[in-house]
Amino acid sequence: MARVALVTGGTRGIGAAISAALKEAGYKVAATYGGNDAAANAFNEETGIAVYKWDVGDFEACKAGTARVEADLGPVEVLVNNAGITRDGMLHRMTPEGWRAVLATNLDSLFNMTRNVIEGMRARGYGRIVSISSINGQKGQMGQSNYSAAKAGLIGFTKAVAQENAFKGVTVNAVAPGYIGTEMVRAVPEEVLNTKILPLIPVGRLGEPEEVARCVVFLASEEAGYITGSTLTVNGGQYMA
């Protein structure tokens, strides 16, 4: 029987590529989203992947949503924590609301989602948790103290939870993308892209969402059972941790 994979933020950008790649690899996939109904419905129609709407920053919403997924598809054996937002700004101008919004979606969601699947994974003796960090969580980024803090915290969370669950057959890993050619990044003015971003990337191009997705599919596989607590960087050589 196909394993069930749940991908948060799984209907757009990198998340959509991850959801599609997992389906192609034979998983039953549930993709969550937070607000864009039109994009989620279009993704569902295009791929046939089940979509679910809830706020990953809300523990009770995650509890109820995960229960719905498991009732529809079966026990979640692969969790991909991908949901994330940005509220960029220099710290001396950042509002508490901008700080909290990013931490809730990008960091609190790790606890909210993982807590609601981890007991089942431990009881079954199998699980794969893959969380999407960022190059900016590894090196920091001016104007993104909230985002960088959340994505760095994700790596610490990954290492701790990996140690707690390795002997139960549950692996916990992170993937840290660099500049990926999503809709958001490709909206950057071409001059800025060509003069400020691409020269920093040794391979000389943006990454593709599908390249990140392939890393997630591998870490989610049974073949990756001896890899846990690791952070896989996917950044074209821009930052070597």
pLDDT digit string (tens) for the chain, length 241 residues: 799 999 999 999 999 999 999 999 999 999 999 999 999 999 999 999 999 999 999 999 999 999 999 999 999 999 999 999 999 999 999 999 999 999 999 999 999 999 999 999 999 999 999 999 999 999 999 999 999 999 999 999 999 999 999 999 999 999 999 999 988 788 788 898 999 899 999 999 999 999 999 999 999 999 999 999 999 999 999 999 8
How many other C-beta atoms are found inside a 10 Å radius of the C-beta of residue 9? 26
221 SS3 class: coil
Per-residue CA distances from 24 to 28, 49, 135 (Å): 9, 11, 27
Q: Is the separation of the CB atoms in 150 and 137 below 8 Å?
A: yes
33 noted as active-site residue: no
The pair of structure tokens assigned to 96 is 């508490």
Residue by residue, DSSP assigns 130-152 as: EEE--HHHHH--TTBHHHHHHHH
Annotated catalytic residue within 33, 147, 179, 226: 147
